[in-house]
Amino acid sequence: MLYVINFKCYKEGTGEKALKLAKALEKISKQKRKKVILAVQPADIFRISKGVSLPVFSQHIDNITYGAHTGSILPESVKQAGAKGTLLNHSERRIPLNVLESYIERAKSVKLKVIVCCENATEVKKVANFKAKPDFIAIEPKELIGGNISVSKAKPDLIKKSVLNAKDIPLLCGAGIKNREDVIIAKKLGAKGVLVASGVVKSRKPEKALKELFI
């Protein structure tokens, strides 16, 4: 299973605290030999990619090239800062589906891996049919993100359907994932990994929280 930890813009996952958190998560992931990706703010990519060996992803990129694009996130910049990939279309940073494929193409042009987030199985099917394929598709129903019940328990059929709709693209699932049971269910339903944010990042003991997700 793949474990993607989204630092979001939480205070616990920003700046020096982000580096401290990354080092703690790296230690436990190495001990348990688990695959972990850290999705961080663009401003923290360089700091974290230099401080740990875990793959670091940007939380977003923009479909722009070099030029006058003040405030945008240039794919080349995150790549040169040390990012190995990027999230796209997270529920908190949505991209219209009619232009999403061009974002994937742009990321691929600088050799960034891509995780595309989808809110429902219909979106999963549309993304899976793009000519420019993401490396992973993540199903995250918006209403369960940050909640107390996981997508594994609340919407198992959504995961099943999304796995089928994703075809040969590995499916990840997120929203409310809190414990090992949630991950076990997700795996049985066909998911190849999970996305987690507050359950680990805002935990008093993030290393323990991550360890308790490992199967």
For the segment 139-143, the average pLDDT, to the nearest whole number, is 86
Domain-by-domain residue ranges, the chain?
Answer: 2-211
For the segment 6-26, the average pLDDT, to the nearest whole number, is 98
For helices 97-109 and 121-128, the axis angle rounded to 10 degrees is: 50
- Give the span between the Cα atoms of 145 and 196, in whole angstroms: 9
pLDDT tens, residue by residue, 55-68: 999 999 999 999 99
The residue annotated as part of the active site, out of 26, 101, 123, 140, is: 140
Residue percentage of the chain with pLDDT more than 90: 89
Is 2-211 a CATH 3.20.20.70 domain? Answer: yes
pLDDT tens, residue by residue, 154-209: 889 999 999 999 999 999 998 878 899 999 999 999 999 999 999 999 999 999 99
The pTM assigned to this predicted structure is: 0.96
Active site annotation includes 76: no
Active site annotation includes 90: yes
- pLDDT band with cut points at 50, 70 and 90 for residue 146: low
The residue annotated as part of the active site, out of 60, 90, 119, 207, is: 90
- Give the span between the Cα atoms of 5 and 78, in whole angstroms: 18
For helices 121-128 and 156-165, the axis angle rounded to 10 degrees is: 10
Where do the H-state alpha helices sit in the chain? 15-32, 45-51, 75-81, 97-109, 121-128, 151-154, 156-165, 180-188, 198-201, 206-211
pLDDT tens, residue by residue, 107-140: 999 999 999 999 999 999 999 999 999 999 999 9
- Give the span between the Cα atoms of 8 and 27, in whole angstroms: 21
Distances (CA, A) of 206 to 14, 22, 26, 124, 175: 14, 10, 11, 30, 17
User: What is the pLDDT, as a whole number, of residue 91?
Assistant: 93
